Protein backbone atom coordinates (compact mmCIF):
# COMPACT_ATOMS: atom_id res chain seq x y z
CA UNK A 1 0.00 0.00 0.00
CA UNK A 2 1.31 3.44 -0.92
CA UNK A 3 1.18 6.08 1.78
CA UNK A 4 -0.76 9.22 0.80
CA UNK A 5 0.63 12.66 1.53
CA UNK A 6 -1.01 14.57 4.40
CA UNK A 7 -0.76 18.19 3.29
CA UNK A 8 -0.50 21.14 5.65
CA UNK A 9 0.37 24.83 5.59
CA UNK A 10 2.47 26.67 8.12
CA UNK A 11 0.58 28.31 10.96
CA UNK A 12 2.43 31.49 9.92
CA UNK A 13 0.66 31.60 6.55
CA UNK A 14 -2.31 33.59 7.95
CA UNK A 15 -4.42 32.70 4.89
CA UNK A 16 -2.63 35.30 2.80
CA UNK A 17 -2.92 33.20 -0.36
CA UNK A 18 0.82 33.11 -1.07
CA UNK A 19 1.46 29.73 0.52
CA UNK A 20 2.89 26.34 -0.16
CA UNK A 21 1.84 23.11 1.48
CA UNK A 22 4.14 20.28 2.48
CA UNK A 23 3.54 16.63 3.30
CA UNK A 24 6.14 15.89 5.94
CA UNK A 25 4.59 12.49 6.71
CA UNK A 26 6.55 10.98 3.79
CA UNK A 27 9.95 12.03 5.11
CA UNK A 28 10.69 8.89 7.12
CA UNK A 29 9.34 6.36 4.63
CA UNK A 30 10.47 7.99 1.36
CA UNK A 31 13.20 10.48 2.34
CA UNK A 32 11.46 13.37 0.60
CA UNK A 33 9.19 16.30 1.43
CA UNK A 34 6.52 16.83 -1.25
CA UNK A 35 5.62 20.49 -1.88
CA UNK A 36 2.67 22.05 -3.73
CA UNK A 37 0.97 25.41 -4.27
CA UNK A 38 -1.85 25.81 -1.75
CA UNK A 39 -3.97 27.67 -4.32
CA UNK A 40 -3.74 24.83 -6.86
CA UNK A 41 -4.05 21.66 -4.83
CA UNK A 42 -4.72 19.51 -7.90
CA UNK A 43 -1.76 21.00 -9.76
CA UNK A 44 1.79 19.75 -9.95
CA UNK A 45 3.91 18.86 -6.94
CA UNK A 46 7.62 18.41 -6.51
CA UNK A 47 9.62 16.49 -3.95
CA UNK A 48 12.62 17.87 -2.13
CA UNK A 49 15.16 15.55 -0.50
CA UNK A 50 14.54 15.61 3.26
CA UNK A 51 18.05 16.88 4.07
CA UNK A 52 17.77 19.76 1.62
CA UNK A 53 14.36 20.73 2.99
CA UNK A 54 15.70 20.65 6.57
CA UNK A 55 18.61 22.89 5.54
CA UNK A 56 16.16 25.31 3.90
CA UNK A 57 13.99 25.48 7.04
CA UNK A 58 17.07 25.98 9.21
CA UNK A 59 18.19 28.82 6.91
CA UNK A 60 14.81 30.50 7.15
CA UNK A 61 14.76 30.20 10.95
CA UNK A 62 18.28 31.56 11.31
CA UNK A 63 17.73 34.43 8.86
CA UNK A 64 20.73 33.36 6.80
CA UNK A 65 18.81 33.27 3.51
CA UNK A 66 19.01 36.47 1.50
CA UNK A 67 17.04 37.71 -1.47
The mean of the pLDDT values for the chain is 87
Share of the chain above pLDDT 70, in %: 91
Instruction: Render the burial of 36-47: b for 16+ CB within 10 Å, e for the rest.
Output: bebeeeeeebee
Mean pLDDT of 38-45: 90
Instruction: Find which of 1-10, 13-22, 53-62 is predicted with most confidence, using mean pLDDT.
Output: 53-62
CA-nearest of 60, 57, 40 to 48 is 57
Give pTM, 2 decimals: 0.78
Q: What is the pLDDT of residue 67?
A: 67
Amino acid sequence: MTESPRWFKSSYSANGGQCVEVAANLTASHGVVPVRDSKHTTGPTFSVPAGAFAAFVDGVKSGSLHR
